[in-house]
């Protein structure tokens, strides 16, 4: 894949979970830096190069068993663009604007014959889509704003089809539970990124230890010698540090086998940041937890890079911390205020993370638009904040690459 195309594309990944909260796949949402918009709209003549490069970026670091779902509007579907992607991994999403006309149905039959999985996107139960329901393997039901009774009616209307159901835009754990009872197999939305508060739940001894380490790492005066001590007393962290320093990222001529030498090469600030990622990754090892850690790292790095705009309210290191801790409540299933009481933070950063009405909460809002791949919302917020969109695009791309590198060697 030609490397020069990569710097033009950012890919947002929205996770899709099974009922057991295991990662089944990701929907990939592409943004093209040249057009300042999402690549795939009905009016676009999306090139196979953009699709192929976007897919290559989106699946980095993903296990081969994980599916990648990509939207295909009518003109792109008929242009045979899906065939540049591997059928064993790519799920072709047919947009809700695509009608079951003869040429569309012929293209779908051809894709099925070539081993592709088809998903019908944003289904809301309207008539006229029966032929596509017949040929689809998966139907994605848009449940945003619907009552359980309305969702049940849609499910009942699909009982005659041999399809698997995917609930999309699931925004809270209660609706996740409703959809699970109604027979949905897959779930997409931001229910997983909100804490599931259970009265009386306490952190495990291991989690409490990790939180204490995070607190220590966040102290501005944390000495390099103390960071070395933390690494050397944990075999797993020592191994991961050596793996990280010897990765292709550093392009070293000789192999580094000394912890002290690895520490000296990274430097105090880089080492502290890397250790924060590793320790947070160890706090919750579930699929949900690891996905949230990936989001945390990307958020932190994104804000750190945006600090170059000159409009950031805090230093670049503090911006990293703000983004990095912004979903800590969901990772620990605790109230944010309760979690942050255990960690030393600037009062203004803490207020930003706890109070949606605080002075700098707009930065968290910017992160939420990025997570969702809401490109219009991202542009609107960036414009309001006085941040050039070119900087936002570049920061998003660099943050995604850095996150993949760091997470790959943190696990």
The predicted structure's pLDDT at residue 410: 59
Better-predicted residue by pLDDT, 73 or 149: 149
pLDDT higher than 60, residue 168: yes
What pLDDT, on the 0 to 100 scale, is given for residue 198?
Answer: 67
Mapping DSSP to helix (H, G, I), strand (E, B) and coil, where does residue 165 land?
Answer: strand
- Give the mean pLDDT of 353-362: 94
- Across the range 287-314, mean pLDDT stands at 93
Q: Which residue from 277, 316, 313, 269 is spatially nearest to 409, judged by alpha carbons?
A: 277
Fold of 205-410: Hypothetical protein af1432 (1.10.3210)
Reported confidence tier of residue 208, pLDDT bands at 50, 70, 90: confident
The boundaries of every CATH 1.10.3210.10 domain in the chain are 205-410
The C-alpha atoms of residue 44 and residue 387 are separated, in whole angstroms, by 27
Identify the burial level of 276 via C-beta atoms within 10 angstroms of its C-beta, where 0-12 means exposed, 13-18 middle and 19 or more buried.
buried
The mean pLDDT value of the chain amounts to: 87
Residue 222 banded pLDDT, cuts 50, 70, 90: low
- What pLDDT is stored for residue 138 in this prediction? 98
Q: What architecture is the 3-193 domain classified under in CATH? A: Alpha-Beta Barrel (3.20)
Residue 3 confidence (pLDDT): 43
Q: What is the mean pLDDT of residues 62-66?
A: 91
Flag the least confident range among 15-19, 48-52, 265-269: 48-52
pLDDT digits (tens, 9 = 90+) for 133-143: 999 999 999 99
Tens of pLDDT, residue by residue over 314-353, are: 999 899 999 999 999 999 888 899 888 888 888 999 999 9
Amino acid 269: pLDDT: 81
- β-pairing, 117-123 vs 67-72, is unpaired
| In the chain, % of residues over pLDDT 90 | 51
Is pLDDT at 34 greater than 60 in this prediction? no
Where is pLDDT greater, at 40 or 216?
216
Give me the pLDDT at residue 378, please.
93
* Cα separation, 48 vs 46, whole angstroms: 7
| pLDDT interval class at 104 (50, 70, 90) | very high
Q: Are 21 and 287 in contact (CB under 8 A)?
A: yes
Is 35 a residue whose pLDDT tops 50? no
Please say if the pLDDT value at position 377 is more than 80. Answer: yes
Domain limits, CATH 3.20.20.450, in the chain = 3-193
For residues 102-128, average pLDDT: 94
**In this predicted structure, what is the pLDDT of residue 36?**
47
CA-nearest of 15, 17, 92 to 51 is 92
Biggest distance spanned by C-alpha atoms of the chain: 70
The lowest-confidence range among 123-137, 212-226, 276-290 is: 212-226
**Regarding predicted confidence, which is higher, 205 or 119?**
119
Other residues' Cβ atoms within 10 Å of the Cβ of residue 363: 25
Q: What is the pTM of this model?
A: 0.88
Q: pLDDT tens, 239-297?
A: 888 888 887 777 777 788 888 888 888 888 888 888 889 999 999 889 999 999 999 99
The pLDDT of residue 149 is above 60: yes
Give the pair of three-digit tokens for residue 408: 């790959």
Question: What is the rounded CA–CA span in Å between residue 411 and residue 403?
Answer: 12
């Amino acid at each position: 894949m030609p490397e020069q195309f990569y710097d033009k594309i950012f890919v947002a990944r929205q996770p899709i979970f099974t009922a057991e909260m295991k990662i089944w796949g990701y929907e990939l949402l592409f943004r093209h830096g040249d057009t300042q918009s999402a690549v795939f709209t009905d009016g676009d003549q999306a090139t196979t190069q953009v699709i192929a490069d976007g897919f290559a970026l989106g699946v980095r670091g993903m296990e081969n068993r994980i599916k990648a779902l990509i939207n295909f509007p009518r003109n792109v579907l008929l242009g045979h663009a899906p065939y540049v992607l591997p059928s064993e991994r790519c799920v072709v999403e047919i947009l809700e604007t695509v009608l079951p006309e003869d040429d569309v149905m012929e293209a779908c039959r051809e894709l099925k014959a070539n081993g592709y999985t088809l998903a019908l996107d944003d289904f809301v139960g309207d008539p006229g889509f029966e032929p596509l329901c017949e040929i689809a393997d998966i139907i994605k039901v848009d449940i945003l704003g619907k009552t359980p009774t309305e969702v049940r009616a849609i499910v009942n209307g699909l009982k005659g089809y041999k399809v698997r159901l995917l609930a999309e835009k699931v925004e809270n754990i209660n609706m996740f539970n409703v959809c699970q009872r109604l027979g949905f197999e897959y779930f997409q939305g931001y229910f997983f990124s909100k804490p599931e508060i259970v009265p009386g739940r306490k952190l495990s001894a291991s989690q409490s230890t990790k939180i204490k380490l995070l607190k220590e790492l966040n102290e501005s005066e944390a000495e390099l010698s103390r960071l070395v001590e933390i690494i050397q007393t944990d075999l797993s962290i020592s191994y991961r540090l050596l793996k990280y320093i010897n990765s292709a990222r550093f392009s070293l001529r000789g192999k580094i086998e000394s912890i002290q030498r690895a520490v000296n090469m990274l430097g105090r600030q880089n080492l502290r940041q890397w250790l924060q990622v590793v320790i947070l990754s160890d706090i919750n090892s579930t699929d949900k937890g690891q996905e949230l850690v990936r989001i945390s790292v990307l958020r932190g790095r994104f804000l750190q890079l945006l600090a170059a705009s000159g409009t950031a309210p805090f230093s670049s290191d503090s911006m990293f911390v703000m983004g990095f801790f912004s979903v800590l409540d969901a990772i620990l299933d605790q109230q944010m205020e309760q979690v942050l009481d255990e960690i030393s933070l600037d009062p203004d950063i803490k207020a930003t993370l706890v109070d949606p009405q605080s002075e700098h909460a707009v930065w968290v809002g910017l992160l939420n638009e990025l997570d969702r791949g809401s490109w219009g919302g991202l542009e609107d917020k960036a414009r309001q904040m006085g941040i050039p969109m070119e900087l936002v695009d570049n920061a998003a791309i660099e943050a995604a690459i850095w996150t993949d590198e760091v997470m790959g060697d943190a696990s």
